[in-house]
């Protein structure tokens, strides 16, 4: 079955500390994975796709097929990074996304 | 560029009624997808339309249906509403070509079924 698991509901770190948001997936084919972010009172927005291999707002994510993981990382967290983060898997077509339950990141001053 | 718009933003309906939600995508985007967001189940894929054709459907009962018009605007309909249909309904429009991909979400329609 296709599934995305984000084991942490809440992650709290101090400003300047490294942050890693975990995401594990279950998919039989070649996965396409995404990270989405939702800041308070804002729309859900695409943060990055594993295919593009970009660094957005200092965040990176590497697909590890062996561990079926796609963890989101940032070396130095900022207070403005506080938000809800969702990992998602392409379930077969462009808009067919399977979302994890999300991790709320809180960056304390 | 105007963002994805959804109407109405809030809706209160009674069990058994039906409802139609509308989504206007970013100009030039031909793919529109719908999602249901609830505290218990999180974000769940409903369906995806591309050039007026339903390309994929999530695991929802037949009471949930949708369509897309020639101008890429999309509507979703829920018939015989149940209390459990209370949720935030999000739509997203996307465009992908070569290595370029963009996707934008609307603000959502908050549906309350009483």
Indicate the residue of A46, A95, A102 with minimum beta-carbon distance to B31.
A95
The reply to whether residue A95 touches residue B32, judged by beta carbons under 8 angstroms, is yes
Has residue A53 got a pLDDT over 80? Answer: no
The reply to whether residue B56 touches residue A86, judged by beta carbons under 8 angstroms, is no
Averaged over B11-31, what is the pLDDT? 96
Mean pLDDT across chain A: 93
pLDDT at B2: 77
Averaged over B95-114, what is the pLDDT? 92
- What would the DSSP string read from start to end of chain A? --EEE---SEEEEETTS-EEE--EEE-SS---EEEEEE-TTS--EEEEETTTT--BTTBEE--BTTTTB--EEESS--GGG-EEEEEEEE-SSTT-EEE---EEEEEE-
- pLDDT per residue over A76-109, tens digit each? 999 999 999 999 998 877 778 999 999 999 999 9
Nearest partner of A94 among B43, B78, B29, judged by Cα: B29
Give the A:B interface size as CB pairs under 8 Å.
65
Tell me how far the alpha carbon of residue B111 is from its chain's centroid: 12
- Per-residue confidence band for B1, with pLDDT thresholds at 50, 70 and 90: low
- pLDDT per residue over B55-92, tens digit each? 999 999 999 999 999 999 999 999 999 999 999 999 99
The reply to whether residue A100 touches residue B42, judged by beta carbons under 8 angstroms, is yes
Give the rounded percent of residues in chain B with a pLDDT score beyond 90.
93
Residues of A in contact with B90 (CB under 8 A): 44
Averaged over B29-52, what is the pLDDT? 95
């Amino acid at each position: 079955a296709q599934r995305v698991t984000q084991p942490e509901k809440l992650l709290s770190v101090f400003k300047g500390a490294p942050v890693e948001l975990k995401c594990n997936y279950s998919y039989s084919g070649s996965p396409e994975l995404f990270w989405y972010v939702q800041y308070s009172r804002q729309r859900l927005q695409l943060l990055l796709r594993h295919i593009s291999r970009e660094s957005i707002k200092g965040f990176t994510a590497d697909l590890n097929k062996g561990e079926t993981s796609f963890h989101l990382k940032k070396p130095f967290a900022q207070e403005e990074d506080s938000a809800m983060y969702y990992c998602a898997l392409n379930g077969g077509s462009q808009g067919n996304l399977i979302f994890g339950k999300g991790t709320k990141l809180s960056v304390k001053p | 560029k105007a963002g994805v718009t959804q109407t109405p933003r809030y809706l209160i309906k009674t069990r058994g009624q039906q409802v139609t939600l509308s989504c206007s995508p970013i100009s030039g985007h031909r793919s529109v997808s719908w999602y249901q967001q609830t505290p218990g189940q999180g974000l769940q894929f409903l369906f995806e339309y591309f050039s007026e054709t339903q390309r994929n459907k999530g695991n929802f009962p037949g009471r949930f249906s949708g369509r897309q018009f020639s101008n890429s605007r999309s509507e979703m309909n829920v018939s015989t509403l149940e209390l459990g249909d209370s949720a935030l309904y999000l739509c997203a429009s996307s465009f992908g070509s070569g290595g370029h991909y963009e996707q934008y979400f609307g603000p959502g329609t908050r549906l309350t079924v009483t």
